[in-house]
A and B are shown apart, each in its own frame.
Chain A
Amino acid sequence: MKWISEVWHLYYDGFRQMTLGRTLWVIILVKLFVIFVILKLFFFPDFIKQNANGDEAEFVSKNLIQP
């Protein structure tokens, strides 16, 4: 069990002693929020799921092969 404590302290001490890393983490978290919450939810819906009414193969085949 000692190794679990060592791993914990590696991360705990590492995060506590960060300087530049704090800024980078803030940027990463803001970026992930923008990507997954704002962009994915509001701007990038799953187009086929929204429009296929459950039959995705038929939807795509109509898109491609109907004259």
Chain B
Amino acid sequence: MVSWRRLRALCRKETWQILRDPSSNLIAFVLPVIMLFIFGYGINLDSSAVRLGLVLEDHGPEAVHFAESLTRSPYLRVRPAATQADAAADLTAGRTRGFVVVPGDFGERLQRPTDEAPLLVVSDGAEPNTANFVQAYVSGAWGGWQLQRAAERGEPPPAGLNLDARFWYNPSATSRNYLVPGAITIIMTVIGALLTSLVVAREWERGTMEALLASPVTRAELLLSKVLPYYALGIVSLFLCVGVAVVVMRVPFRGSWWVLWGIGSLFLASSLGLGLLISTTLRNQFNAAQAALNAAFLPALMLSGFLYEIRSMPPVIRAVTMLVPARYFVTAMQTVFQAGDVWPVLIPSALFLGAAGVFFLGLTARKTRRRLE
């Protein structure tokens, strides 16, 4: 059914078109680099230096000592304020994400045995993630200071619990290490689905499809000629992104390249399939682009689990995420990057992606007409 000569000619045509269209180039080569850098440097969930206001109402030696230890913490950037009102104003304006008040009776209360710290800690709840970090960091600083104080006084360290936390794969808990693999998923979705959603619709709108249909081209050739060039583009883009991530951004890559290639190919098959299905069904560029945005891009961003925790979503939405190919690709990419070739994770993902690819491409093939109606 497939003539290599015809297929090659169609693929060559498609390639020239991609390379000559400035907006395709923008999406395929420029945007990925921008996105990679945004996710690598712009989006940082680590809150490595939370800006914290500090109101010192007690000027006794203990209070000053505590303030110094807060200031020394690598996780906090302390901004002193004269009064609580000033600190509150800073918080409201977003200049700080929380503040600590060391009350006038700090020294006295420190002597009294209670289980509550003599501190007033306020966080900016409008930024819930950062608020959690404020709580954790101040809490850590407080505990650390107490231990230090005990040690300086020559007291034996109070017995208690010592939790030693370790992150596997990502010892420094750098969010870049898992955001970048996720960002690559978004990029592949944009290339695979958004760009291809336009290509078949464009042929219909410009009338070139009619000339093709009147030639001896078969349905398989027509479909493959749309899949192969964009597949090549996607794979080039994938390796380019991974290369930049590993070499420039120093994101560790522990898996093997051929696994990356395999998983990437399966994901591309599913997103190309989705894009082509949209394009073939709608035959109108404007609507196709909108549909691709809602059917491919948004789910990849919101429901793939790369930015937001899937387990925390309500059951209905969790069920929906099971149908989002990007979800499986995010999991696979994060695993290949950080954990290596972990087959129990990769195989189910690969199976689903393969099935999604077959489903979308098959449906596209069914919708591809050899005639005008």
Q: Do A and B bind each other?
A: no
Q: Interface residues, chain A, CB within 8 Å of chain B?
A: none
Q: Interface residues, chain B, CB within 8 Å of chain A?
A: none
